[in-house]
Amino acid sequence: MDPGLAFGKVLRRVRKDTGLTQEQLALAADIDRTFVSLMERGERQPTIRVLFKLANALHIPAAQLVQMTDDRVGIREGSSPVADVFEP
Q: What is the pLDDT of residue 73?
A: 93
Chain center to CA of 45: 8
Q: Where are the domains of the chain?
A: 3-74
Using only the alpha carbons of the chain, give its radius of gyration: 14
Give 52 or 88, the one with higher predicted confidence.
52
* Interatomic CA distance for residues 47 and 33, integer angstroms: 16
What tens digit of pLDDT does each residue of 53-83 get? Answer: 999 999 999 999 999 999 999 855 445 555 4
Q: Tell me: domain 3-74, CATH 1.10.260.40, correct? A: yes
pLDDT of 22 strictly over 70: yes
